[in-house]
Amino acid sequence: MRARPAACLAAAGAVLVGTVLLGVGVGALPLAPGPVLATLADRAVRPLGGSVDGGLSPVQAAALLQLRLPRVVLAVLVGGALAIAGAAYQGVFRNPLADPYLLGAAAGAGLGATLVIAYAPGSGAVPVAAFVGALVGVGASFALGTAAGGSSSATLLLAGVAVASFLAAGQTLVQQRNAEDLQQVYGWLLGQLGRASWSDVLLVLPYLGAAVAVLLVCGRALDVLAVGDDEARSLGVHPGRLRLLVVVAASLATASAVAVSGLIGFVGLVVPHVARKLVGGAHAVLLPMSLLAGGAFLVLADLLARTVLAPAELPLGVVTAFVGAPFFAALLWSRRR
């Protein structure tokens, strides 16, 4: 028997807050939750002329505000974006195996990042190139799908496969011609948050905010779409327009996340399944639940990535694959039984 959606969302929010405090507190320089909260409160009330005592030392405060907090905040944003995009893709395509990289976003981002790493090293343009590449990949899939006969789910999926294959081939060609950059390219492709900064947060926040807002508003309409296109039309929902809006918003969220984190798998595939087990398939609740759970999941994954082999770091995509693949296999097995 499932718990009430409101209670599940409240619990997920509490878990997210707990994981954020754990993420900023654990590391080579441990930070206790109380002083962390006091320091954050002090920074919040200073513009108003107030102050809060009992915070961290200057060195600890610098580690919190300049290193750990932007990394944890970025993990929350990226994890939430990938999870809600995955839930939206699964709903709009009526396919539980759909993930955020479905329509060429990953291949386009990979090609864009590879081009900058190979031909403009040190320019700092990798996030922008990855973002543009992901949007180009999705746009090409839409253009090909439309030219091939419309915006149906099957046509878009096939177009995405074709575009992704073409872009992946282009990336392989660039890598072969620039073998000395392979390590940096693979490091980006495996996902990373080690260089996270507040500039990255500010870079993606407007796009993520807009995309997430659109997806949350479309939650109830996605439930109507699940009963079929003809029934949805009879209830006043235009299936083609809704499908286009949701896919564009989910793709924008994916492109924004990929731009600052690289390719991180299984978040958008596994987290919506777990959320669906907890709150059911109603997208009005499933989408916000996926958003919260995805943020918490990626914070914990990033914590493992930077502590398991400390002082070295594991690629974040490797951690999510090690955790997500067996978990997803267990979900499939339980569903079969």
Those residues of the chain that have pLDDT short of 50 are: 1
Is-contact 324 269, C-beta < 8 A?
Answer: yes
- Specify the DSSP element, H or E, that contains 150: none
Is-contact 203 260, C-beta < 8 A?
Answer: yes
Look at residue 85 in the predicted model and tell me its pLDDT.
95
Residue-range domain boundaries for the chain: 78-336
How many CB atoms within 10 Å of residue 296? 26
Is-contact 250 105, C-beta < 8 A?
Answer: no
pLDDT digits (tens, 9 = 90+) for 180-229: 888 888 888 888 888 889 999 998 999 999 999 999 999 988 988 877 77
Look at residue 337 in the predicted model and tell me its pLDDT.
62
Look at residue 151 in the predicted model and tell me its pLDDT.
57
Query: For 323-327, which contacts have Cβ atoms below 8 Å and span 24 or more sequence positions?
Result: 323/266, 324/265, 324/266, 324/267, 324/269, 324/270, 325/266, 327/270
Is-contact 295 76, C-beta < 8 A?
Answer: yes
Alpha helices by DSSP H, the chain = 5-25, 33-45, 58-62, 69-92, 105-119, 126-147, 153-177, 182-189, 198-217, 219-225, 229-234, 239-261, 267-279, 283-307, 316-336
Domain 78-336 has CATH 3.40.1160.10: no
The residue type at 298: L
